[in-house]
Structure 1
Amino acid sequence: MLGWALTFLVIAIIAAVFGFGGIASASAGIAQILFFVFLVLFVVALIARAVRGRRV
């Protein structure tokens, strides 16, 4: 998921350099959404691991 966010971020930067404002803003928006989804899933995974504890 983080890879997709980085991919869309790179697309947004390249589109912005070439002057494609609509594509750049759309790609940046998608990258931002994917990054926050990744961040939420990461926090949920950390909490689940802390609650479950370590099994032997």
Structure 2
Amino acid sequence: MKNISKENLKKRLQFFQSIFVVLMIIALFTKFYFVAFSYGMTSIIFYSFSKLFSRLKNDY
């Protein structure tokens, strides 16, 4: 298991956050399949967050 520095973790979280915001704006403009799209995106985002935080907890 490679170490993840706190700065690297913050960069990753900001990256995921910016992707999430952009995709949600696109979904709002299209308003097509909005519920399914937002549910899928939030589940992917929260899964990635849980993986990152479990890795961080193991490292520190």
Normalised to the residue count of structure 1, the TM-score between the two structures is 0.57
> Whose radius of gyration is greater, 1 or 2?
1
SS at the partner of 2:50? helix
After the TM superposition, which segments of 4 or more aligned residues of structure 1 sit over 6 Å from their partners? none
Greater RCO (CA < 8 Å, at least 6 residues apart): 2
The C-alpha deviation readout for 1:5-54, integer Å capped at 9, x for no partner, is 423x323x333x343111111000000000000000000110xxxxxxxx
Which runs of 5 or more structure 2 residues have no equivalent in the other structure? Answer: 1-11
SS at the partner of 2:52? helix
Q: Does 1:28 align with 2:42?
A: yes
SS at the partner of 2:49? helix
Identity %: 19
Normalised to the residue count of structure 2, the TM-score between the two structures is 0.54
For the aligned residues, what is the CA RMSD? 1.7
Which runs of 5 or more structure 1 residues have no equivalent in the other structure? Answer: 47-56
Q: Which residue of 2 aligns with 1:39?
A: 53
